[in-house]
Amino acid sequence: MSGVSIIESPVGRVAAHSDGSALVRVRFLGPDERVPTTPPDAISREAADQLHAYFSGDLRVFVLKLAPKGTPFQQDVWRALQTVPYGATTTYADIAERVGRPTAIRAVGAANGANPIAIVIPCHRIIGRDGTLTGYAGGLDRKRVLLDLEARAR
């Protein structure tokens, strides 16, 4: 059994998808995008509850069973992203170092962009070496909102 929970947030509508045993996707819904008709299940509801707490500034660490689908390299990058603390940022080069592939900066960027569990796996905390906001699958405006939210709540 799978489930989908939809929440309203400062970055628009967000859908949390479960496969019945773990969270597999968190994605941003477009303004005119139809809401999935799959009813929520316990996992997607818990993800929605934690996302609400995150957006209200009351949650800094998500405690959810995750099952993102990806290559072994992507999985390594996504695990490394989860070590970046709330309110902190790091660079693509740092993540490349953390996964033992210091020259794979562009591949880290691609894995970051392919992250299927936005916000919970905090790919928004990765910035360019010069401190600029670079690439975010959800858009740079959303990335700025998420980083600002975390900075205010620290």
CATH number of the domain to which 13 belongs: 3.30.160.70
Q: State the catalytic residues.
A: 123
Report the chain's C-alpha Rg in angstroms.
15
Task: Please check whether residue 27 lies inside any domain of the structure.
Answer: yes
Q: Are residues 82 and 50 in the same domain?
A: no
List, for residues 49-90, the tens digit of each pLDDT value.
999 999 999 999 999 999 999 999 999 999 999 999 999 999
**pLDDT confidence band for 23 (50 / 70 / 90):** very high
Joined together, the tokens standing for residue 100 give 């033992």
Region of 26 (left: φ > 0; alpha: ψ -120 to 50; beta: rest) is: beta
Q: Is the distance from CB of 35 to CB of 127 less than 8 angstroms?
A: no
Task: Please check whether residue 33 lies inside any domain of the structure.
Answer: yes
Task: Please check whether residue 88 lies inside any domain of the structure.
Answer: yes
Q: What's the number of domains the chain is made of?
A: 2
How far is the C-alpha of 48 from the C-alpha of 68, rounded, in Å?
A: 17
Q: Are residues 51 and 76 in the same domain?
A: no
Q: Are residues 143 and 103 in the same domain?
A: yes
Task: Please check whether residue 120 lies inside any domain of the structure.
Answer: yes
How far is the C-alpha of 38 from the C-alpha of 82, rounded, in Å?
A: 28
Mean model confidence pLDDT for the chain:
93
Q: Is the distance from CB of 16 to CB of 53 less than 8 angstroms?
A: no
How far is the C-alpha of 85 from the C-alpha of 13, rounded, in Å?
A: 24
How far is the C-alpha of 58 from the C-alpha of 3, rounded, in Å?
A: 25
Task: Please check whether residue 61 lies inside any domain of the structure.
Answer: no
Q: Which domain holds residue 24?
A: 3-55
Q: Are residues 90 and 17 in the same domain?
A: no
Q: Are residues 50 and 122 in the same domain?
A: no
Q: Are residues 80 and 119 in the same domain?
A: yes
Mean pLDDT in residue range 116-144: 91
Here the CATH number for the domain that contains residue 95 is: 1.10.10.10
Pick the residue with more confidence: 1 or 37? Answer: 37
Whole-prediction pTM value? 0.93
pLDDT for residue 154 is more than 70? no
Q: Are residues 44 and 77 in the same domain?
A: no
